[in-house]
Structure 1
Amino acid sequence: MGKYRYILFNKPYGVLSQFTDSSGEERRTLKDYISVAGVYPVGRLDWDSEGLMLLTDNGQLQHRLSHPRYAHSRTYWVQVERVPDAEAIAQLQAGVVIDNKPTRPAKVRLLESEPQLPPRDRPIRFRKNVPTAWLEMTLTEGRNRQVRRMTAKVGFPTLRLVRVKMAHLSLDGLQLGQWRDLTADEAKLLF
């Protein structure tokens, strides 16, 4: 375990979850924040999503944490358009069908107040006549744009998406754009 590197990163909005951008658009990448060579993200966060990322040079662990069979949990705070009713929450909890395949059941709850987050680099569009709400969603699979597709499917489009936990790891104490090495105890729990 000691020969590998494990890094937690708090990814800002508008940053690619990779070290290079082959699009030619000169978007920000992990390289703009993390000066460690040879580490790769465990899973991805979309360009327009924020929050916790784990990077490592341990390929075996990277595969294990990314593979759906191992079903490690990921928790997100999700700002949605309008306020979801009990029926929508129940649908999200049971799983919805995306690409003709149901998602796994998820833990979903309506947050009573807006979570304490730094303002987003590009503010969320504000519409005076359309309220927003925050959900906490914990998934055990990571399909492409899954959270956004799930909330849209039940009629409450995602406006802002922040991953706050992966398994036992959290954003606690990690400012936006900052990274740190995992402690030995945190790394041990990954196995």
Structure 2
Amino acid sequence: MRYFLINKPFGTLSQFTRELPEHRTLADLYDFPAGVYPVGRLDRDSEGLLILTDDKRLNHRLLDPTYGHARTYWVQVEGDPSRDTLRALADGPPIRIKGKEHASLPVGVEVIAPALPPRDPPIRVRREIPDTWLALTLREGKNRQVRRMCAAVGCPVLRLVRYGIEDLTLDDLAGQQVREVSVDYLRPRLRL
């Protein structure tokens, strides 16, 4: 079995097949062996930690909602959210998914100041409107959930970076964009 950690850049699809000729895919990052696929996805406009493996058991375990693995996202939002706004976000605001209302589970919310390099291309900046970084920790993973939850409380997302899954973080890449690791390395960090 093979296990890879990657720091997926903005604008890259979480797949190996191009939908359009100009799309960047995981195949552009590294020469991954056949049969290795991402565990979950990050949207094209999201960045951060992604695990790739050919271990179907690990894939199932991490994606099965009954296990509720924590995922931490660093989110740059427009504005300076009030305590009430942060509380509403922590309570898990209702969001719409495929036309149906979904009651989000509560999430961990913390105001942070991460040391991240600028995004390429840069985010839009509006001089008269501040921005704030939040760390959000979720135990569910609906489609575009972080973006939908932030929008529901009036905080549009400018940049979204998946920082961690359980105790596995971007720091585990040791400054590399792609790093191969062993299952013994992953087990304690993913609490398997």
Normalised TM-score (structure 2): 0.91
- Cα separation, partners in 2 of 1:66 and 1:32, compared to 1, 3 Å: same
Residues 90-105 of structure 1 aligned to structure 2 (within 5 Å): 90-99=87-96, 100-105=101-106
Q: Deviation at 1:139?
A: 0.5
How many Å apart are 1:58 and its aligned residue?
Answer: 0.9
Q: Contact 1:81–1:158 (CA<8 Å) still a contact in 2?
A: yes
Report what 2:157 is aligned to.
158
Q: Deviations over 1:47-105 (max 9, x none)?
A: 00001001110112101201211100110110000011111111111111112121111
C-alpha separation in 1, matches of 2:166 and 2:187: 12
Distance in 2 of aligned mates of 1:35 and 1:19? 11
For residue 25 of structure 2, what is the aligned residue in structure 1? 29
User: Does the 8 Å CA contact 1:98/1:150 hold for their aligned counterparts?
Assistant: yes
2:56 pairs with 1:59: yes
- Deviation of 1:177 after TM superposition, in Å, equals 7.0
Q: 2:71 matched to which residue of 1?
A: 74
| RMSD of Structure 2 on Structure 1 (CA) | 1.5
Tell me what 1:135 maps to: 134
Alignment partners' CA distance in 2, 1:120 and 1:167 = 25
Q: Which residue in the other structure is 1:107 paired with? A: 108
Query: How many residue pairs are counted as aligned between the two chains?
Result: 185
Tell me, in whole angstroms, the C-alpha distance in 1 between the residues paired with 2:176 and 2:10: 10
SS at match of 2:173: coil
Q: Which blocks of at least 5 consecutive residues in structure 2 are unaligned? A: none
**Percent of aligned positions that are identical:** 52
1:168 partner amino acid: D
Work out whether residues 11 and 52 of structure 1, in 8 Å CA contact, stay in contact via their aligned partners in 2. yes
SS at match of 1:80: strand
Which SS does the other structure have where 2:14 is aligned? Answer: coil
Query: Quick one: distance in 2 between partners of 1:101 and 1:128?
Result: 35
Amino acid in the other structure paired with 1:108: V
Which residue of structure 2 aligns with residue 187 of structure 1? Answer: 186
